[in-house]
Structure 1
Amino acid sequence: MDIARTRFRNPFRTPFVRALATAVLLAGLGTAQAAPSAQAEREIEQLIQALGSSSCQFERNGSWHDAKAAQAHLRKKLAYLRKRDLVDSADQFIERAASESSLSGQAYRVRCGGAPPVASAAWLKARLVQLRKPATTPSP
């Protein structure tokens, strides 16, 4: 047996190693994220509605759009993520769909009234904090 041949022998040529590598690969492919919880779905929808019902403008790739157009755009991005099981929380929605353009990488911004524009992620996270605050009942 030639020593040079044994040193550089492909370890995947043995049936055991091939079977083990295939099992590991298939196990990794079979793991998909769970669908978003009902609470996550509710929070995401409330965020999209909050933007759509605001009088704010939404900057995307250097152009300003009204709130309804922004709402429609974010719904399309959400549908894309849902189809691929890539969103299971409102935080992930903000991070993966509502923070920046997936084409240009430019950050989205929100401008409300005469206020200076802010990053859409900051605007949406602030709304999410408000949504998550426990409702307080007025004291008698």
Structure 2
Amino acid sequence: MRAPLASLLFVLVAAAHAAHAAPLPPAARAEAEALLLRMQASGCEFQRNGSWYSGAEARGHLLKKLDYLEGKGLITTTEQFIAQGASSSSMSGKPYLVRCAGKPVQETGPWFLAELKALRQPQAASGVKK
């Protein structure tokens, strides 16, 4: 009888821990949101599962994924958000693509990483650390 009780206790503790997952650190959340705003303002189009969407539609979709991943405690860095939420469809597994005027179509993972590097540049130059 003790083994089932111990198993039940373990499940309850694990569930309580999952319910209180730590939120994304504020600096990482701010970076992720800034990246999504850059996507919206870029004039680029975003492809998800074979259909093209505006930057604003991409931002809306990826913000929902950010909220989900954060709520589940699955990410702690901006890079993790890019890898787990902003690079491919969780439904089909297909990579997301970005199409910007005058540039070749590319996967969103490298696009977001380049934008993240650019976002962090001014901070590095001013001596501000993340």
Q: TM-score, normalised by structure 1?
A: 0.76
**d(CA) in 2 for partners of 1:95 and 1:51?**
16
Task: Please say which structure displays the higher CA radius of gyration.
Answer: 1
What's the counterpart of residue 16 of structure 1? 2
Query: Greater helix share, 1 or 2?
Result: 2
Q: Any unmatched runs of 5+ in structure 2?
A: none
What's the counterpart of residue 87 of structure 2? 99
Matched residue pairs, number?
Answer: 123
What's the counterpart of residue 48 of structure 1? 36
The two structures, once aligned, show a CA RMSD in angstroms of: 1.9
Q: Which amino acid aligns with 1:105?
A: G
What's the counterpart of residue 57 of structure 1? 45
What's the counterpart of residue 116 of structure 2? 128
Q: Does 1:114 align with 2:114?
A: no
Deviation at 1:79, TM superposition (A): 3.0
Q: Which runs of 4+ in 1 moved over 6 A?
A: none
Q: TM-score, normalised by structure 2?
A: 0.81
